[in-house]
Amino acid sequence: MSLQLVLLNQLVRWQIKRRFRKNPDVQLLRPLMQQMEARTSRLPADIAVEDLALGGVPAERLTAEGASTSKAFLYIHGGGFVAGSPRTHRPLTWRLAKETGVPVYAIDYRLAPEHPFPAGLDDCVAAYRALLDKGYAAKSIVVGGDSAGGNLTLALALRLKAEGVPLPAALVCLSPATDMTGSGASRHENAEADSLFVEEMFDTLKPAYYAGHDEREPFLSPLFGDVAGFPPVLFQVGEREMLRDDATRMAGKLRAAGVEAVIEVWPKVWHVWQLNADMLPEGREAITHITRFARQHLALS
């Protein structure tokens, strides 16, 4: 465990969890993440960024020098379905672009509460179909996301399967929300240990994102979906997270269905620590693991 992790953990608890104790509304994530953009949007000189649209969905393409243009990484950012953007996640996405050696397409899907479920998922489907239309083979695409984006990654695979669209080569899910019923033991057991969130904020998600929908609907809670035939999936999650069991139980379900599922449970880290890779050795190490998994399933030497 690095000194940076110890110090940043205390800072994260002070800056974020303290605010959620006072106001446990998931929509507080939007101003918090907007404040992040000035710091997180900076890119190295050797990473090119291009604004574009995928199936009508705004996106940015991040490309490193010498990238293989025949393969792609579709990235779906987190933010509780109400916040975040490709710019807030650049500390992760530019590293994925550089280390995998393939372009990363980070989409700016519609957010709740202005655009509740299933608008964001519809955008993910449209963006993936657009990559196919661009000539990318399904087996040349990896799809990944964190938190809400991890949920959407799995829900996207369920939608593609239901619609008869070829599935991608692999999925990457970082601290994904997979169970809107909150039935995993970690949701309660880790309420104090979790460095970011409080239990009460999960109660505010339903009216903002999926009012009027059954919490067990698979496109909302992929844990309850039919995952037979899924591509390989990598999960990374912190042992102290309230969402820990969302990842571990989802991995177990996939394995029971005969799907390759790699689950990494990291000690001492917080929710989506990979976003702190600029300062955190554990964040950079986790991204190296993601890169290895993605390159393996994209058949990159």
Cα–Cα separations (whole angstroms), residue 1 to 9, 92, 167, 175:
11, 20, 37, 19
Cα–Cα separations (whole angstroms), residue 109 to 13, 48, 105:
28, 21, 12
Q: What is the model's pLDDT at position 205?
A: 96
Low-confidence ranges of the chain (pLDDT < 50): none
Tokens representing 70 are 């025949």
The single residue of 175, 195, 241, 297 carrying the catalytic annotation is 241
3-state secondary structure of 258: coil
The single residue of 147, 175, 186, 221 carrying the catalytic annotation is 147
The string of pLDDT tens digits covering residues 267-301 is 999 999 999 999 999 999 999 999 999 999 998 86
Q: What is the model's pLDDT at position 301?
A: 64
Q: What is the model's pLDDT at position 66?
A: 92
In the chain, where are the structural domains located?
3-146+160-233
Known active-site residue 115: no
Q: What is the model's pLDDT at position 8?
A: 81
Q: What is the model's pLDDT at position 12?
A: 82
Amino acid (1-letter code) at residue 48: A
Known active-site residue 114: no
Answer whether the bond into residue 176 is a cis peptide, omega within 30°.
no
The string of pLDDT tens digits covering residues 91-133 is 999 999 999 999 999 999 999 999 999 999 999 999 999 999 9
The single residue of 77, 89, 271, 297 carrying the catalytic annotation is 271
| b/e burial code for range 227-264 (CB count within 10 A of at least 16 → b) | beebbbbbbbbbebbbbbbbbbbbbebbeeeebebbbb
Known active-site residue 147: yes
Spatial distance between the Cα atoms of 85 and 28, rounded to a whole number of angstroms: 15
Beta carbons of 75 and 168 less than 8 angstroms apart:
no
CATH of domain 3-146+160-233: 3.40.50.1820
